[in-house]
Amino acid sequence: MVLDPAKPFDITCKVDASYDGMRLDKFVAATAPRISRTKIKEYNKQNRITVNDNIRPDSWRVKNGDIVVLRCRIPKGGEDLGRNIPVDIVYEDDDILGVNKQAGLVVHPVALHRHNTLLNALYWRYKDKLPSHQQITLVNRIDRYTSGVVLVSKNMDAKRILQKQFEARTVSKSYLALVLGNIEKDRGEINLPIGQKLNRTNRTMMGIRKDGAGKKSKTFYVVKERFCDYTLVQLLPKTGRQHQLRVHMSAIGHPLVADHLYGDNHGLVFYKDSLGSPVNELMRFALHAENLTFCHPVNGQEMTINAPPPDDFSSAVEGLRKGLTVKKGKLNILEEVEQEEETRDLQKIYGNTEFDKL
């Protein structure tokens, strides 16, 4: 299943031998299980499902090698274009890309961010470089305000192989975080179930749920450096629950710096002295995906993609290290509510990929 950034509301599925001879509606339902059969039939009545660029009835039998396209939304003029957004490519070969995503950039088109996303940026960069049989598609995802490694495939075979590794949890992920307070132990394990937060004031909030409604969630941590009122810590998630690292660190009394949902809703502003002008600031939650270790989808060799922390993160750490004057600044980050029907469909599709909204 592929989302083409050239057409950010098209879902492309290639039929393999295991689905040969299956009804079209059943095939789409099998490859997009979180979209209802009723919705699939509605899409087909609107001619929004094609087989090899042809409109076919629900009863059509797909064949091995067919290309099935589901258009989740009819785009308006100009919405299918890429965007010339700077992208930091830290690794590239014929099959995969490693991107060091900047904080604040949404990874794929959603209701409030249809164009200025990482996928749009990648399409702009590669639209004239890749042959027609190849497509740029995300393998994993990180939250908008998290910086760091995002793995991208250039073809469906690479995507499928990498996805199996994520599903089998054989991919190692490492994050750097700056948290409030001093963590006493040098290393430890957080093994607390996560689910939707009870009595939440924001629909995106997650929480520790010991009532059976939470999913098993595990995070290892290693203290890298302690400062007066802060700790630099390496986080090693063994599961991929929504907001897992943020929820787990908050649960042990050390929320991320500048976390507007699970922390004190204040960033850090650094001064050389108490009377001077600020020299730098960290005004988004302090989480960076520093590396990703996996087996290459073609040669099978284990490899690691590293992404250096951005300036706001590294400057904050260096400011604490040097003992600069630190003041707290009120954040102005709003969790955006995405309610449109087509966006929910896209999010359901992405629910089948590694969902690292940490």
How far is 328 from 87, CA to CA, in rounded Å? 30
For residue 216, the tally of other CB atoms under 10 A from its CB is: 11
Nearest to 143 by CA among 306, 342, 12, 333: 333
CA angle 40, 106, 286 (to 5 degrees): 135
Which one is catalytic: 95, 143, 345, 356? 143
**What DSSP string runs through 120-188?**
HHHHHHHTTTS-TT---EESEEE-TT-EEEEEEESSHHHHHHHHHHHHTT--EEEEEEEEES--SSSEE
The HSE-up count of residue 351 (CA atoms within 13 Å, CB side) is: 12
Residue 303 burial by CB count (10 A; 0-12/13-18/19+): exposed, middle or buried?
A: middle
Phi, psi of 51 (to 5 degrees): -120, 115
Token digits of residue 277: 């002008």
The HSE-up count of residue 328 (CA atoms within 13 Å, CB side) is: 13
Residues 6+ apart with CB under 8 A from 299: none
The question of whether 157 is a catalytic residue gets the answer no
How far is 141 from 155, CA to CA, in rounded Å? 17
How far is 245 from 176, CA to CA, in rounded Å? 10
User: What are the C-alpha distances in Å from 159 to residues 109, 155, 259?
Assistant: 19, 6, 32
- The catalytic residues are 143
